[in-house]
Amino acid sequence: MVERKRGRQAVQQRRRRLRAQPLCQDCAAKGLVREATVPDHIVPLVQGGSDEDGNIRCLCADCHQARTAEQFGHRRTVPTGSDGWPIG
């Protein structure tokens, strides 16, 4: 389990990451130029992701929200058959 950095250290780390990736990575992938405001963990810490720079992508607030919903919003597990469709 990775311990999250707190306080001043976390603020400096966040600033450094946003300087390294000043543009939203998801928007850039769509050909858009938008300022990144949130360093996001590609693999969330609670899912075993690391707090290394390699696991960080900087996103704008909108993309961060979308990614978070993607990572944490669909926890519901539905049993599926061998054809991949939900059973029942």
> How far, rounded to the nearest angstrom, does the alpha carbon of residue 28 sit from its chain's CA centroid?
15
Contact 11, 47 (CB under 8 A): no
Name which position in 40, 41, 63, 67 contacts Zn ion (CB under 5 A).
Answer: 63
In a 3-state reduction of DSSP, which class is residue 80?
strand
56 binds Zn ion (CB under 5 A): no
Among 27, 37, 44, 66, binds Zn ion (CB under 5 A): 27
Q: Is 26 in the site for Zn ion (CB under 5 A)?
A: yes
Total of residues contacting Zn ion (CB under 5 A): 6
Cβ atoms of residues 60 and 38 within 8 Å: yes
Among 24, 38, 56, 58, binds Zn ion (CB under 5 A): 24
Beta bridge partners of 37: none
Contact residues for Zn ion (CB under 5 A)? 24, 26-27, 34, 60, 63
